[in-house]
Amino acid sequence: MPHRTLVALVIGTVVALSGLGVQPTRVAAAATPLPNAITFYGRGYGHGVGMSQYGARGRALAGQPASTILAHYYAGTTLGSRDPATLVRVLVLTGFAATSANPATIVGMGGPWSVDGISGSFPAKGKLTLAPTAAGATTWTLTVFAPTGTVLRRATVSSAVIVRPAPSIGLLRLASKPSTFNVYRGFLAVRLTTTAMVINHVAVDDYLRGVVPMEMPASWPSEALKVQAIAARSYALSHIHPATGTFELYDDTRSQVYRGQLGEQPATDAAIAATSGSILLSGSSVANALFHSSDGGWTENNENVFVSSSGAIVAGPVSYLRGASDRAADGTSYDKTSPYATWKTATNTKAQLSAFFASDSRTNVGTISGLDLSKRGVSRRLISVTLVGSAGSKTVSGDVFRSVFNAASPAADPLFRGNLFDLTPIP
């Protein structure tokens, strides 16, 4: 399953500033000296803010309904509704350097289709191609072909081309997208400069049909799938700005993973239909319902996760993105079925660890002698890490520490999966 590890990872993740939160405290003033052999032990996979997908699964298996699960992960929100036909704009292709030999290509599927500004409609399995009139040109030759290859229409265009399938029955295949998941509901807007950008304009509930099974396995309990549908719908609608810009959402982990019509599954379609239009509200605003794979037994405050590269807290607390225990009455974590509920890295020597962190100027302190792992959030996730070595000390965010380690360590070694880690196993 895909995981929301960046975000919000990345990214593509912006949180509104509201509410109050608990500020982290430093529990140790000095760095811990490192032994010669170092292993990091961790819990959870992802940023830890909002809904834990494996936690939602565990709660659903324990008999909790979707409403209870959502109330835990997004405390203080209420359920509301929005029109399921509300359009969202998803970037599905960008920077496509078309040529006459390799034009941008869209194929009409399932029924007739049309092009705005060009009279008439074109048959199913016909195709539209776009190629620059010359190298580096911003004018393009538009050609429409019948399924037999006969040219039906040719024109010179610039700026934008909008391709629409027949209502209800039509689909469009973006043949130029380097993916097998390239068939879309809604319509495609092609923005033309010296390259082509393609945006899928699609009703939010049709968009979710290509999102939910990519973010959560369709075989999971129906209540967990409903939670994912409501969270994903809320996330999408909290980001729309129809009067400005050209798109709102990426089709990858910078927003939510979206695979269009070919990603759809009956079980997730059913969850989307059962929650049609349902969203989370914070006051009167749609909640930015962040989620991640597994939380290791405790979620985290948003401001402790989305920090600067040095670990400085730069975001205000969001009232419904508060960290809390995610364990059952017997103490077991609801995400216990996750393969990364607990994890550990390979064991490395100080010399190896020094070399890893010397590979990036942000973490290069020469020969490492110690680490200060005291600046933690409410879940005990690392907000920042201070590295101490022969060349001095440097403080970076938990994300920077983790990403440098993952990039520099051997490819076959286990990865850091999140920022809830320590030098000894975490209960």
* Three-class SS of the chain: CCCCCCECECCECCCCCCCCCCCCCECCCCCEECCCEECCEEECECCCCCEEHHHHHHHHHCCCCHHHHHHHHCCCCEEEECCCCCEEEEEEEEEECCCCCCCEEEEEECCCEEECCCCCCECCCCEEEEEECCCCCCEEEEEEECCCCCEEEEEEEEEEEEEEECCCCCEEEECCCCCCCCEECCEEEEEECCCEEEEEEEEHHHHHHCCHHHHCCCCCCHHHHHHHHHHHHHHHHHCCCCCCCCCCEECCCCCCCCCHHHHCCHHHHHHHHHCCCEEEEECCEECCCCEECECCCECCCHHHCCCCCCCCCCCCCCCCCCCCECECCCCCECCCCCCCCEEECCCEEHHHHHHHHHCCCCCCCCCEEEEECCEECCCCCECEEEEEECCEEEEEEHHHHHHHHHHHCCCCCCCCCCCCEECCCCC
The pTM for the full model equals: 0.91
Q: Where are the alpha helices (DSSP H) in 310-419?
A: 350-358, 398-408
CA gap 308, 398 in Å, rounded: 10
Whose CA is closest to 378, among 10, 4, 79, 27?
27
Residues in the chain: 427
The confidence score (pLDDT) of residue 6 equals 38
Q: Output the CA–CA distances (angstroms, integers) from residue 38 to 347, 366, 423, in the order listed.
A: 5, 17, 7
pLDDT tens over the chain, length 427 residues: 444 433 333 333 333 333 333 333 333 347 999 999 999 999 999 999 999 999 999 999 999 999 999 999 999 999 999 999 999 999 999 999 999 999 999 999 999 999 999 999 999 999 999 999 999 999 999 999 999 999 999 999 999 999 999 988 899 999 999 999 999 999 999 999 999 999 999 999 999 999 999 999 999 999 999 999 999 999 999 999 999 999 999 999 999 999 999 999 999 999 999 999 999 999 999 999 999 999 999 999 999 999 999 999 999 999 999 999 999 999 999 999 999 999 999 999 999 999 999 999 999 999 999 999 999 999 999 999 999 999 999 999 999 999 999 999 999 999 999 999 999 999 9
Phi first, then psi: what are they for 45, rounded to 5°?
A: -135, 115
Residue 270, amino acid: A
Per-domain boundaries in the chain: 32-48+298-422, 51-85+206-289, 98-194
Structure tokens at 418: 């999140």
The confidence score (pLDDT) of residue 199 equals 98
CA gap 294, 72 in Å, rounded: 15
Whose CA is closest to 283, among 325, 318, 322?
318
> Are 207 and 91 in contact, with CB atoms under 8 Å apart?
no
Residue 284, amino acid: S
Q: Output the CA–CA distances (angstroms, integers) from residue 13 to 49, 242, 290, in the order listed.
A: 11, 18, 8
> Are 316 and 303 in contact, with CB atoms under 8 Å apart?
yes
Structure tokens at 281: 């509200």
Q: CA 171: distance to chain centroid? A: 25
The confidence score (pLDDT) of residue 30 equals 75
Whose CA is closest to 21, among 328, 267, 299?
299
The confidence score (pLDDT) of residue 168 equals 81
The set of residues, in sequence order, having a beta carbon less than 8 Å from that of 225 and lying 6+ positions away, is 212, 216, 218, 267, 268, 270, 271
